[in-house]
Amino acid sequence: MAIAVDAMGGDSPLSVQVEAAVKAVNDFGIDVVLVGAFEQIEETLKLHNYDSDKLRIVNSTETVEMNESPASALRQKKDSSIRVAVDLVKAGEAEAVVSAGNTGASMATAKFVLKSIEGIERPAIASIMPSVHRNHPFVLLDAGANTDCKPLYLFQFALMGDAYARTYLHLENPRVALLNNGEEEGKGYLELKETYDLLKQSTLNFVGNIEGKAMFRDKVNVVVCDGFVGNIALKV
């Protein structure tokens, strides 16, 4: 199995994505499929040494621009690099997609082509965040996919964060917290109070609200917030 890499998306020139893909092949022995303008990618690859059995190119003729609306990208660019990359996952030719391109378009394409896991209504962006404790990162989600979130979405983000922390951080019972403007129950706006109740009644190891500063120091494993707040927290 391989990782599909969107060679066209992002603020950097194609050469950056190609170089990174070669590095992944060489340093980690990963199989990579570079998706984008075939000839340009081929030309750039000539500058590098790598095991050609582990790296192939799949052509695409269109690129989603960074400021393009996800809906129009999805409707009008059916041969974009991100779309072709996601189609490879759908077809079983790749296991995952990496893209530095238009986030909204990537999310929308993935949701449209691959659908969500049953019972999950919205995808979230999960970001691995460092903490003040050595070897103790935590998962912050949503880091920017959904500006407006119903309590049920936030609750489902917690479920996904829990699964992620169990699988990739190898934790048996991840400590899940809700990002809020105070620790006490009842803090935050109405949707957060409702989310708190959902989490409290769940089988998750919910440790309560957490403040923006404390999340870097309190040894929690999953921090849940809406995509607007997550984006601000990530960028600050």
Q: Where are the beta strands (DSSP E) in 113-232?
A: 126-129, 138-141, 175-179, 205-210, 222-224
Q: Is 88 in the site for a second copy (CB under 8 A)?
A: no
- Residue 120 Cβ vs a second copy, minimum distance, rounded to whole Å: 21
Q: Is 132 in the site for a second copy (CB under 8 A)?
A: no
Instruction: Quickly tell me which residue has 């890499």 as its tokens.
Output: 5
Site for a second copy in 55-74 (CB under 8 A): 67
Closest C-alpha among 113, 93, 102, 168 to residue 138:
168
Residue 38 CA: distances (Å) to CA of 12, 33, 65, 97, 231: 18, 11, 18, 18, 34
Q: Is 233 in the site for a second copy (CB under 8 A)?
A: yes
The binder of a second copy chosen from 144, 159, 206, 218 (CB under 8 A): 144
Site string for a second copy, 166-205 (x = CB under 8 A): -------------x-x--x---xxx---------------
Residue 142, preceding bond cis, omega within 30 degrees? yes
Q: Which residues bind a second copy (CB under 8 A)?
A: 67, 144, 147-148, 179, 181, 184, 188-190, 211-214, 216, 225, 227-229, 231-236
